[in-house]
Chains A and B, each alone.
Chain A
Amino acid sequence: MRRLLLRDLALAFRAGGGGLTGLLFFLAVVAIVPFGIGPDVKLLARIGPAILWIGALLAALLGLDRLFQAEREDGTLDLLMMQETPLSLIVLVKCMAHWVSSGLILALSVPVFGLLLNLGPLAIGATMLTLFVGTPALTLIGAGAAAVTVALPRGGLLVSVLVLPLAIPVLIFGVSATQAAIEAPAAFLTPFLILIALNLLFAVLGPLAAATALRSLED
């Protein structure tokens, strides 16, 4: 298990891996928004957390289609499926590796990007916290979709189409928790707890669905 985690992490961060590309993509999204809506500093500060969340969602989608595909092409997936450890557990570990190389890095890099968007320290902290809690759910949902589309030649596009509707609740509660933390009267804990609940729900559903989908490819 730990080997698998380390292996996936090494793959992600090696040259050509998806981890740093995701970060660059995140930077590109954040940089492009001010061009689209104009350099209004107040407006940017207000919608900044939402921009960061959308950027994180898109960046997390970026590497998802390769989650199982490379393994399937070189046959590692068959080996993983023959293991005694349940396949859903293996999927969970792979998700963790993917999350560390995408969601965690994005959450950690929020202070830098937050300055670009004129966010205050409180907003930066809130966005970091919600991203830290919310992005695993994105990866876990994505794992299910990635497993479903692994056999398709152009699965990458379809993964995004399938993930987005399921990811919208995560996005809604992530952004609303962040906004609630910034604007004093709104309750922060409610959306934050729902975010955690979604996370746990998908931690169960995502790997199970992915494992079932991968198994069904066999026969």
Chain B
Amino acid sequence: MSLDAPHIGFVLASYGAALAIILGLILWVLLDGRARRAEIRALEAAGIRRRSDRPVDDARAAGPAP
């Protein structure tokens, strides 16, 4: 790939757009998941947990069923 070809700006722009959108999606999923997990942790700290959950919970997932 040569950088002085005609229209190279369009190629770079489209790869940039793809990168931006994909990174945006990945960030959205990660941050959303982090926020939800924090909420669950906060609720659990307040003593509210699912009836089916064991008291000690795996910090990563919401916890396996008994």
* A contacting B, Cβ–Cβ less than 8 Å: no
